[in-house]
Every structure is written in C-alpha cells, then in structure tokens.
Amino acid sequence: MTCISPPAQKNWWKEPIERVELIWIGIVVVWGLILTLMMPVWHVYGEQNLSTETYRTTPADYQAKAQAMVDEHFVRTEGDRQFPVVAPPVGSDVYMVARLWDWWPILELKEGQSYRLHLTSMDWNHGFSLQPVNINIQVLPGYEHVFTVTPNKTGEYSVVCNEFCGIGHHNMVGKIHVVK
C-alpha cells in the first residue's frame, strides 16, 4: 500500500484512534478551555483591556459638544497652528476630535483625578494611541467612544494616530498635559 492508493477499508472513519492521538486531542481541548476561560480573567484582573462605552453620534452633534467644552474651559493657545488648550474641571467629560490630520483640542488634566474622555472621528478611521502609556483605541466616524482616564504622572503625553489616514498621517499628533 502506498500513500496514493485508497484505504483498505471504505469506512476509514470507523478505524480506532491511536492512544497517542487521543492524548494530543485531549491536550488541545484542555488547553483551549483554559485559554477561553482566561480571557475574561485577563480582562478584569490583568488590566490589559480598556473598557469603553460606545454611542452613535453625528459629526455635527459631537463637534458642538467639543466646541462647547473648549469655549467654557479655554486656557491658552499652543503651537504653530494655535491649538486651544482646555483645562476642564475634575470629574468632567472631556472631548477630543480626530480629523484629518489633527487631534483637537489639547487637554490639560490634573494628576490623580478622573475624567471621562470622549473620542470620535469627523472623517476617516483614526487610531488613538496615548504614548508612552500605550493606550490604543480605534476611533470610528459616527461613534463616540467614552472611557475613564486617571492620569497618575505629570508630564506631556502624545496622542498619535496609529491607523493610516492619508498623506498627512505622520503629522497627526496631539497632546495631553498632566499637571499637579
């Protein structure tokens, strides 16, 4: 008999399974169950996944909320393009807008205090990557992503777009200042 010739019995699936094969099948099933059960454990206790709320929105509605926050909590402008810097009160809702090729506005948050950060895109898919802490969220147009952020260290943090969004993608860097 060769590997090309048909099996001796037509009902090959009725052949008994070898002991070694049964052991490997058992190992695979047990390992699969362990990994499946560990996913919710890693989510809750491993602090690896960010829990977000997501709501449907329109660009006009979201832009109005973000502009109202900027108008109410404006502190100064910063950079070559004179981006507004806002210092919202502790515990408030703060808004960042992703649009070709900006993160708008610049936020000034207090160390050790919690804020509800809202994100959306006005045009294309963008990626919110907060560096150097490595928080990553895909930001989609038409959806408002909300999560709680509590800065634990003062400094200047960069918000980088990590989803290719066109010719100016490499310039899409925003800022979050954390102050005492």
pLDDT at 145: 93
Residue 9 counted as domain residue: no
Same domain, 37 and 105: no
User: Quick check: is 2 in a domain?
Assistant: no
Residue-level pLDDT, tens digit, the chain, 180 residues: 566 776 666 776 777 888 999 999 999 999 999 999 998 888 777 766 567 789 999 999 999 999 999 999 999 999 888 999 999 999 999 999 999 889 999 999 999 999 999 999 999 999 999 988 878 889 999 999 999 999 999 999 999 999 998 899 999 999 999 999
Which residues constitute the domain of residue 24? Answer: 16-45
Q: How many domains would you assign to the chain? A: 2
Name residue 131's beta-bridge partners.
Answer: 158
pLDDT digits (tens, 9 = 90+) for 101-131: 899 999 999 999 999 999 999 999 999 999 8
Task: Specify whether 31 is located in the same domain as 109.
Answer: no
Q: Are residues 119 and 162 in the same domain?
A: yes
Q: How would DSSP label each residue in the chain?
A: --SSSPPSSS-GGGSPPPHHHHHHHHHHHHHHHHHHHHHHHHHHHS--S---EEEE--HHHHHHHHHHHHHHHEEEEETTTTEEEE-PPTT-EEEEEEETTEEESEEEEETT--EEEEEEESSS-EEEEEETTTEEEEE-BTEEEEEEE---S-EEEEEE--S--STTGGG-EEEEEEE-
* Domain end residue (candidates: 8, 29, 45): 45
Residue 8 lies in a domain: no
Q: The domain spanning residue 124 has which CATH number?
A: 2.60.40.420
pTM of structure: 0.73
